[in-house]
A and B are shown apart, each in its own frame.
Chain A
């Protein structure tokens, strides 16, 4: 067995030490999601509006970033981008690693976000836009007042999953030597050889953050879907509520139907 003997005292000892690098992890997550939203919009628009050549390009982009592991993408950009930029005489050898990491995660998240935006906008019933026009709204008003809020509510569970997935993916940044939580755990282990204690702490921290994020997004979703709930209760009154297998197997209420959100 590698490492020192298990000692529970180290669990408490390492906890604040790992937490001190939490801000790096959260910085990577928030910057990547922020830039990812920008990239995602840019990539989604050609496909939504069916622009001839750009549409193919964004399809290839999405396919590539969804079709290769994030770890491979990290290495590809870390080793490849400086060489590419050297061809146009830009020297990036002094750029901090964190920039490459954030860039990779942004491009990765951008591919998933563009799919999310596409799905969200397509899911809003066309009749909604038509109804908005019929009461005299213009294109901009229709989009911001009617389509966007509904598309937002629809894509929120997907977005929540994406943020949490990105949080967990940041654990891979240590392979390039970034001092985020997993990187810090690595150095703590090199110093003390307390593998298990460190990784247990690491698991606890990641779990607490993703659990909190999940709860937060669920609250937000419930708020954004207020209008839906009223509709659903109205549907029940007319006896059109079709029971599912769950209803028969285990009589329960108040649980959302299974799906991507889980």
Chain B
């Protein structure tokens, strides 16, 4: 079997139809993970009695186990829990009616929340306490100071980490093929299996992921420069 360059292009065009699924999984899990991660980070920074240590344990555990294991545990474990609860309350709802992609979204959100909580935490801690003191001294309340002074600076400081996490989740979304979600990787397998041109199909998939990654890096770079304008020093 010889390399068929024409098929790389054919596969590339076919794989483009799966890009929205990959991006959908990534964006949703990163967005939900960011909200959950922020809550976790705040619990830990403010040392909330029970929730603080619980969050720390959660983050350590999730970061210590592979993303694939999270996905498989949710995929096989959650239906049992849902059906058990449903049966106990006599509902007619059964886990069979839940689409596969939902399990992928839940699992990836859990993974993302642990990693993003560390990003948010390090971002918040990078803001000097003098900023908060200055905000207080001009008469701001704590919520005002955090919303107007601390968060924007923390966000600016965590853009590189955020883009890295986003790229990590983009690459991780390839695991969704194990629960029958047709994203780019699964699509490449389908396209390849029709005529056994695996190499060509995966070249096309690699090119798409590479392009997406470079695009995200560029966008993050532009955003970082824009948002860090306040930080340039000087007088004009």
Contacts and interface: CB of A to CB of B under 8 A. Distances in A.
A228 B68 CA distance: 39
Contact of A73 (B60, B124, B130, B206): B206
Interface stretch (B28-36, B168-176, B223-231): B168-176
A250 B48 CA distance: 10
Interface in B44-70: 45-47, 60-61, 63-69
Contacts of A83: 1-3, 199
Nearest to B114: A262
Contact of A245 (B64, B127, B174, B205): B127
B174 A69 contact: yes
A52 interface: no
- Give the size category of A's interface with B: 35 or more
A67 B210 contact: yes
Interface stretch (A117-125, A134-142, A167-175, A217-225): A167-175
Nearest to A252: B47
Contacts of A6: 80
B65 A207 contact: yes
The A interface is mostly helix, strand or loop, or mixed, namely helix
B157 to A, nearest CB: 10
A88 interface: no
Nearest to A70: B171
A72 B209 contact: yes
A71 B69 contact: no
A203 B124 contact: no
B174 A257 contact: no
Interface string B1-29: 11100000000000000000000000000
Contacts of B202: 72, 75-76, 79-80
B203 interface: yes
A97 interface: no
A258 B65 contact: no
Interface string B137-168: 00000000000001000000000010000010
B60 A211 contact: yes
B30 to A, nearest CB: 15
A257 B206 CA distance: 37
Contact of A66 (B79, B206, B213): B213
Given A245-B125, A250-B45, A260-B161, 4 more contacts: A169-B66, A244-B125, A250-B46, A262-B118
Interface of B: 1-3, 45-47, 60-61, 63-69, 72-73, 76-77, 79-80, 83, 95, 118, 121-133, 150, 161, 167, 170-172, 174-175, 185, 188, 198-199, 202-203, 205-206, 209-210, 213-214
Interface of A: 1-3, 6, 63-64, 66-73, 75-76, 79-80, 83, 164, 168-169, 171-172, 182, 195-196, 199-200, 202-203, 206-207, 210-211, 214, 242-250, 252, 257-260, 262
